[in-house]
Amino acid sequence: MWHLLLENVRGRVSYNFIIVFAVTLAVTTVLLTLFVSRSIQLGVQHNSQLLGPDMALVQPGTKASGHIYVAKGPPAQGKLPMAIIKQLQSFPEVEKISVQSCLGAIPLGTAHIRVIGFDPGTDFMVQPWLQKTKHKDSPATDEALLGSNVEPGKSGDIHIGGKNYKPAGRLAETGSFMDQTIFVPLLMDKLEEVSWILVQLKPGTSLDIMANKLETNLPNTEVLTRTEMLKTINDQLHGLLAGRGFSAAALFVIAGSMLTMGAVFSLMMYERRREFGLLQAMGAKRTFILRLILGEALVLCCLGILTGVVLAVIILLLSLAGMVPLLTLTLSPEPGYILARILGTSLVALIIGVLAALYPALSTIRLEPYEAIRSGE
C-alpha cells in the first residue's frame, strides 16, 4: 500500500502542492502567533520588573480619574505628606521605599518635557535603566538624568526653575513615561510632600492583600498595584492576543486552510473515482481504499507541518535578530514552550488534515465499483 500511496503523492503535483501550502500557511501562522504572543508577554513581565515598584501610594480618587500611569507617570495633582514613609516602614512586608514628585514641564526644542524629582539614595525605578553615565555614583544635586527621547539644547545644560542642570546620564528606552522625562535629585531634607510613594515588597508578599492592608491602615491614601500601574499595556496586550489581533488572524487562516484542503480533496476524489472503482473491481476492499486516501492526507500534512515548523522557527530567529521589518522581538520564548507548541500545533494540523479528507473519502468508497467506474469516465 505504501508504494501505491507514494506513487499517488508524486503523481498529482498541482493538487498536492495546494494542500501542502495550505497546511504550511496554517502551521506557520499559528506558531508565529504563539511565539510572538509569548515574547510580548515575557517582554511586559521583564519591563514591569525593571520599572521597580510593586505598588505606589497616591492621593484618593486618582484611580477614578483614569490617570494612565505607565504613560504619564506620577499624577501631577495631589500630594502625599512625607510622614507616611515612617508609617510604611513599620510594615514588615515592605522592603524598599522611594518617592517621586512632579516639578512641572519645561520647553525643550519643540516639545514640553516633564520634570520629575526623585531620591537617588532610595531609588529603584529610574537608575536601573541608566545606560550612559559620566560616573558610577548617583547624580549630584545639579545633575539630571534624561529619558531616551529627551535631547538637551545646544548648550548642553538644562534650565529648570531658575537652576542649571548638567546631563549626567541617559536612560534606556522603557516604553513608558520615563522616555519623555527629565529626572532631577530632590532635596530630601526640605521635602514635605511628594506626588507618589513607591514601594517594593519582600519576595512572596501578595500584592492584593498588601494593598488592602495599606489602604486600611493608611487613611487618605490610595494604593496602586503593579498590575494597575501597567493596566494600559495589559489591556492592549489582552486585546491583541485575545481576538482583535494575532488570534483572529490565526483562526481565519486555519478556517481557510481547512476549507481549501476539503475542497481540493473533494476534487481529487471526484477525479479518481474511476481509479478507485477499478481497485474495488480487482478485489481491493473499501477499508484498503480508505486507508490509502487517509494515508495520502497524512503524508501531505506531514510535509506541510515540517515546512511550516521550519519556516516559523526561521522567522522567529530572524525577528529576534531584528532582521524582520515590523516584527522585532527582544525576548525568545522558552525552549520548552516552543517544543510544546510545535508538538501541539502539529497534532492539531494532522487531525484537521484527516478530517478534511475523511468526508470525500467516505463518499467515494460508498459507490459501487461499476458506478464509480462509470462516473469517473
- 205-244 pLDDT, tens digit per residue, is 998 899 999 999 998 899 988 777 765 445 545 554 544 4
The cell numbers describing 118, all together, are: 526623585
Q: What is residue 172's DSSP assignment?
A: P
Choose the weakest-confidence range: 166-180, 260-274, 283-297, 318-332. 318-332
CA angle 299, 300, 302 (to 5 degrees): 65
Say if pTM beats, i.e. exceeds, 0.85: no
Phi, psi of 285, rounded to the nearest 5 degrees = -80, 160
Q: What is the pLDDT of residue 355?
A: 85
Work out the pLDDT band at 178, boundaries 50, 70, 90: confident
Work out the pLDDT band at 88, boundaries 50, 70, 90: very high
Work out the pLDDT band at 47, boundaries 50, 70, 90: low
DSSP, collapsed to helix, strand or coil, labels residue 74 as coil
HSE at residue 317, side-chain half, CA atoms within 13 A, is 7
Measured CA to CA, the distance from residue 70 to residue 304 in angstroms comes to 43
Q: Which runs of consecutive H residues, i.e. helices, occur in 136-272? A: 207-217, 226-229, 231-239, 246-271
Amino acid, res. 306? L
Contact of 162 with 119, CB cutoff 8 Å:
no
Measured CA to CA, the distance from residue 307 to residue 296 in angstroms comes to 17
Q: Over 90: is that where the pLDDT of 322 sits? A: no
CA angle 168, 171, 174 (to 5 degrees): 165
Q: Over 70: is that where the pLDDT of 375 sits? A: no
Of the two residues 11 and 188, the one the predictor is more confident about is 188
Burial of 105 (0-12, 13-18, 19+ CB in 10 A): middle
DSSP, collapsed to helix, strand or coil, labels residue 268 as helix
Question: To which H or E segment does residue 277 belong?
Answer: helix 273-281
Please give the span between the terminal C-alpha atoms of the chain, in angstroms, as a whole number: 25
Contact of 24 with 304, CB cutoff 8 Å:
yes
CA angle 165, 171, 172 (to 5 degrees): 160
Q: What is the pLDDT of residue 68?
A: 56
Measured CA to CA, the distance from residue 198 to residue 54 in angstroms comes to 8
Choose the weakest-confidence range: 37-41, 213-217, 306-310, 324-328. 324-328
Measured CA to CA, the distance from residue 248 to residue 81 in angstroms comes to 48
The cell numbers describing 128, all together, are: 536601573
Q: What is the pLDDT of residue 298?
A: 87
Contact of 131 with 172, CB cutoff 8 Å:
yes
174-192 average pLDDT score: 86
Strands (E), the chain: 55-58, 80-81, 94-108, 111-118, 130-133, 143-146, 158-160, 163-171, 181-185, 193-194, 196-201, 222-225
Name 140's Cβ contacts closer than 8 Å, sequence gap at least 6. 168, 185
Q: What is the pLDDT of residue 229?
A: 72
Of the two residues 316 and 156, the one the predictor is more confident about is 316
The cell numbers describing 168, all together, are: 549626567
The cell numbers describing 195, all together, are: 506626588
Phi, psi of 294, rounded to the nearest 5 degrees = -65, -30
Contact of 299 with 307, CB cutoff 8 Å:
no
Measured CA to CA, the distance from residue 300 to residue 10 in angstroms comes to 10
